[in-house]
Amino acid sequence: MTSYNSIREKVFNISSQVKINEIQTKYELDKLEMKHLQDRELNDYKFNLFSNLTHEFRTPLTLIKAPLELIKEENNLTVVKEKVEYIERNTEHLLKLVNQLLDINKIESGKMPVSYKVGSIAPIIGHVVHLFQEDAEQKEINFTYTLPNSDVQGLFDEDKLEKILFNLLSNALKFTPSNGRIHLHVTAFNEQIVIKVLDNGPGISAENKNLVFEKYYRVNQTGKIVGSGIGLSFVKELVELLGGTIDINSKEQVGTTFTVRIPFTNAKNADVSSNEIFDLQETKVIPISNEFIEKSQSKKPVLLVVEDNSDIQKLIAEIFHHDYKVVRAENGSEGLKLVRSIVPDMVITDVMMPIMDGFEMCDQIKADNTINHIPIVMLTAKVGIQNRVKGMNMGADAYLAKPFSVAELKSMVENIQTQRAKLRNHYAQNPLFTGSEEMVSADVVFVKSATNEVMKNIENEKYGVEDLASSFNMSRYTLIRKFKSVLNNTPNDFIQKIRLEMAKTMLEKKVASISEIAYKVGFASVTYFSSSFKKEFGMSPRDFMQDKNGH
């Protein structure tokens, strides 16, 4: 019995050790997996951080670099002064971004002091309001504000209060579309400053509300991402440093309200003026103006610039205003509407924009037969090869990184126009269009398809523009505009040229009599066929046949 118990104890010990080893092994594997996940999350965080910061810095760098290029070629001192102001403004913006990053690090390391001074709230708010009025006007946003109707004095950290106001209004301006509304509402009572910033932008989804204050998280609006994700995180850090709170109330497709409450001492109670009422539902929807249509009918080709930064919009407009009528939109959704409305000759677009980004706009343009011939140049801070490939896969004709060179952008646009000129020359020499191996574009596909459609129906004398338009699911007017843009020709001339080219080939080969050939290529009248042939080739069908056969 003793021996049995001894064996049993040994078996139990071995079994226990095996289980312990299994548990220990599992623990080590779990620990390794956890470390792997943490490393991956850290790498993703670093990647997103640097990617987002790169995007934020590239815009002001573009608005410094490009005007410097333009100044080199400018003799007008007034224009040079304007460019220098551009550069100065964006240098200050760049400096503000750098300082903001340094401030965040100071707060996190506990080295950011709070500097209270006795002062007035009015100059602080007035300064920020003044800064934003011009930007709001440029973006055609109705910017209103309600302030205490008597001055409020007390102990404030003016610098931090100004930064909180600035970042909240920057965020609202970034997400509010043209013709939208932003309202700043400030009250001060019971030793508390309450700041509300309301906008009627796209709003924030319920799942994103708790994430908007996370560092380097960029709010996702219907799948579109804007900004670096620094501003709101910075605001929260500053508000909490001052012993305050920040809340968000948002509804998709309605708008967003940020509410900040900051305590202060020795304040005088003040009533709030109620003569300005802000109603998010009163936003006006302004239709596309006749100005866009007039521009599209101008002799100059039309260039559509889609960019959410108004300074870059102006810059590109200035670069091309001599050669193009420039139309502007501030996001992909507006840009797409304008493309369908005016059918521009060229689109230059940013990639990262609110509501609809440049990738989606490009994808929708290239998927639509009525507008897919329009060349698209993408400008972006996202310079990675994956983003470049994504843009090209969606049909972008060129892809340029910010900060871009003015000369390089001009060269890209000229090269695209040169390629279109080559297509027109090729077509002029060969109306029975076959294209060539080096010619691969939506334009070439369109012309080939149109040629095939006409060839299939060449004997049908009644086949015309309406039929060709129907084969592309286009209106007659849209087809005419597309032919004008791609070949600088009309669909009617295109059909006629193919009929006459086919007739010429048949006459060379003597496949039938002149009258039979006329009917085979869709002419109901031999007389009209002969006059059209002579107008096109400089001799009658009979003379052409005799000349080709040596008579």
HEC-encoded secondary structure of 147-177 = CECCCCEEEECHHHHHHHHHHHHHHHHHHCC
DSSP output for 344-361: -SEEEEESS-SSS-HHHH
Question: DSSP code of 190?
Answer: T
Low-confidence ranges of the chain (pLDDT < 50): 220-228, 267-298
pLDDT at residue number 386: 63
pLDDT at residue number 198: 92
CA nearest 266: which of 192, 191, 194? Answer: 191
Give yes or no on whether 117-275 and 430-548 have one common fold: no
CATH topology for 10-108 is Helix Hairpins (1.10.287)
Tokens representing residue 333 in the block = 């959704």
pLDDT at residue number 429: 74
CATH topology for 117-275 is Heat Shock Protein 90 (3.30.565)
CA nearest 212: which of 238, 230, 239, 194? Answer: 230
pLDDT at residue number 548: 66
Alpha-carbon distance 352 to 532, whole Å?
A: 53
Pick the CATH number of 430-548 from 3.30.70.1400, 1.10.10.60, 3.40.50.920, 3.60.15.10: 1.10.10.60
pLDDT at residue number 384: 57
Contact 212, 232 (CB under 8 A): yes
Going from N- to C-terminal start, the domains of the chain cover 10-108, 117-275, 290-419, 430-548
pLDDT at residue number 55: 61
Tokens representing residue 492 in the block = 């009617």
Alpha-carbon distance 483 to 471, whole Å?
A: 14
Contact 174, 354 (CB under 8 A): yes
pLDDT at residue number 440: 59
pLDDT at residue number 349: 92
N residues, the chain = 551
Alpha-carbon distance 69 to 83, whole Å?
A: 10
Q: Which residues contact 288 (CB under 8 A, 6 or more apart)?
A: 337, 338, 341
What's 290-419's CATH class?
Answer: alpha beta
CA nearest 446: which of 454, 335, 417, 504? Answer: 454
Q: Which residues contact 306 (CB under 8 A, 6 or more apart)?
A: 328, 329, 330, 331, 332, 334, 335, 347, 348, 349, 350, 353, 358, 361
pTM, two decimal places: 0.51
Instruction: Please state, in angstroms and as integers, the Cα–Cα distance from residue 522 to each residue in 458, 460, 462, 498, following that order.
Output: 6, 5, 8, 10
